[in-house]
Copies of this chain bind each other. A is one copy, B any other.
Amino acid sequence: MTVTLADVAARARVSPATVSRVLNGNYPVAAATRERVLRAVDELDYVLNGPASSLAAATSDLVGILVNDIADPFFGIMAGAAQTEIGIQEAPDATGFARADAAGAAEAAGPHAPGAGRRRAGGQKLAVVCNTVGSPERELTYLTLLQRQRAAAVILTGGALEDADHGAAVTAALRRLAAAGTRVVLCGRPPLPDDDVAVAALAFDNRGGGRRLAEHLLALGHRTIGYVAGPLERTTTRHRLEGHREALRAAGLPAAGSGGAQDPLTLHGPYTRRSGYEATRELLRRQPGLTAVVAANDTVALGACAAVRDEGLRIPQDVSVAGFDDLPFSVDATPALTTVRLPLQEAGARAGRLAMGTEAPPPGGIATIGAELMARASTAPPRA
């Protein structure tokens, strides 16, 4: 029914081994033979059987990218950049066998260097993104599924859940993956607790970003700053908040809640516009003296802006609003949103390269990626 390697071999009058070698291009095959095989391949519309190939070779060309919410550009941008880096490589050079010899002249290995004439070893990788919807179970399930597929690499993006059990489970899963030869990369997520693992981590400087943003507001003269934080138990949420409070404390303001106590100026919620809207209305209600609102991210900030307006207040004259991430739409908000820029594109691309083994891992396996303050029109000095 379906065409197999053997069929192609028969048609090209060669052995299956030869066909395999032509297709994988990592073994010298005479040009004429190669030609014949290639012709047979597309006369027969042959498509390699991936599972069989992966089984025999004990490797697969799958690379998994885990994201918390695929509908959120924050993840979309990172995933897209990573996928671009991983995806379709330069086309293999079907002809030009002889040219390798010319190039070989530059080699020190002598006239009969055995490596001459070899073609791209790897082959096409299939980067796939998996949407965990922020659910711990799904995260684990996807990790198992990817291990099942013997994925070549796995990239985990975004903040991690701060649950001891779940953290341990994920760490164990990643360790298993790594042990099985899968490259593991963390992107925008803190390194694993014990860093003995061969897991590269690209962490965002959320704490620093949060601090700088707060400092900016303090410098403008704000003293009562509301904070619409992300979901509890997320590293991202905690780090941004810590940075924020660090700055407040440094300015001699009562950064309550740092001990986990109730902080009337901080409200937690999901990363949604709605959360931003509702939390901000609540904040405005209970703190009439509020002159600024910092949101967990840009999406939340949009909701905050809507809330401020619906209270009949102006941005930034009456209340300043700031976000985090600097997603593309932030500059288009009215007024343009002050936020903290995270180089999502770059980080994603780098993660992709690490996953491919194209780029050397950072020293210690850990790199921190800067978060830059983008002061724009949505923040200004408070009314005098």
B-binding residues in A (CB < 8 A)? 2, 45, 47-55, 60-61, 64, 69-73, 75-77, 79-80, 83-84, 87-88, 124, 126-131, 133, 137-138, 141-142, 144-150, 176, 180, 273, 299, 302-303, 305-306, 309, 328-329, 332-334
B88 in contact with A141 (CB, 8 Å): yes
CB closest residue in chain B, given A52: B55
Q: Are B76 and A150 in contact (CB under 8 A)?
A: no
Q: Give me the 3 closest cross-chain CB pairs, A-B, nearest first.
A: A128-B128, A51-B54, A50-B148
Other than the given A55-B55, A80-B131, 15 more pairs (CB < 8 A) read A45-B176, A47-B147, A48-B148, A50-B150, A51-B54, A52-B55, A71-B80, A72-B76, A73-B76, A76-B76, A83-B131, A87-B131, A128-B130, A309-B334, A329-B329
Task: Name the residue of chain B whose CB is nearest to the CB of A91.
Answer: B137
How many identical subunits does the complex contain? Answer: 2
Check B124 against A79 for contact (C-beta < 8 Å). no
Q: How far is the CA of A219 from the CA of B50 in the complex (A)?
A: 57
| Interfacial chain B residues near A126, Cβ < 8 Å | 128, 130, 142, 145-146, 149
Chain B residue contacts of A50, Cβ below 8 A? 51, 54, 60, 145, 148-150
Q: With a CB–CB cut-off of 8 A, which chain B residues contact A124?
A: 141, 145
Contact across chains for B131 and A84 when beta carbons are under 8 A apart? yes
Given A47-B144, A50-B51, A55-B52; A71-B60 close (CB under 8 Å):
no
Contacts of A55 in B (CB 8 A): 49, 51-52, 55
Closest approach, in angstroms, between the C-beta of A274 and any C-beta of chain B?
10
Min CB gap A334→B, angstroms:
4
| Pair B83/A70 contact, Cβ less than 8 Å | yes
Q: How far is the CB of A47 from chain B (nearest CB, A)?
A: 5
Q: Is the interface of A mostly helix, strand, loop or mixed?
A: helix
- Scoring A72, A84, A305, A332 by chain B CB atoms within 10 A of each residue's CB, the highest score goes to A332
Residues of B within 8 A of A328 (CB): 273
CA distance A71 to B65 in the complex (A): 14
Q: Across the interface, name the chain B residue whose C-beta is closest to A181.
A: B2
Is the Cβ of A51 less than 8 Å from the Cβ of B128? Answer: no
CB distance from A23 to the nearest CB of B (A): 11
Q: Given the complex of chains A and B, what is the CA–CA distance between A305 and B336 in angstroms?
A: 13
Chain B: CB-nearest residue to A2: B180
Q: How far is the CB of A172 from chain B (nearest CB, A)?
A: 9
Chain B residues, Cβ within 8 Å of A149: 50-51, 126
21 A-B interface contacts by CB (under 8 A) = A50-B54, A50-B148, A50-B149, A51-B54, A51-B60, A70-B83, A71-B76, A84-B133, A87-B131, A87-B138, A88-B137, A88-B141, A126-B128, A126-B142, A126-B145, A126-B149, A127-B130, A127-B131, A332-B333, A333-B333, A333-B334
Of A52, A124, A176, most buried by chain B (CB within 10 Å of CB) is A52
Question: Could you say which of A60, A137, A142 has the most chain B C-beta atoms within 10 Å of its C-beta?
Answer: A142
Distance in angstroms from A184 CB to nearest chain B CB is 15
In angstroms, Cα B302 to Cα A302, docked, is: 14
Chain B residues with CB under 8 A of A305: 332
In the complex, the chain B residue whose C-beta lies closest to that of A176 is B45
A76 adjacent to B84 (CB under 8 Å) = no
| Cα(A137)–Cα(B124), bound, Å | 13
The smallest beta-carbon distance between A273 and chain B, in angstroms, is 6
A73: contacting residue among B53, B71, B127, B142, CB under 8 A: B71
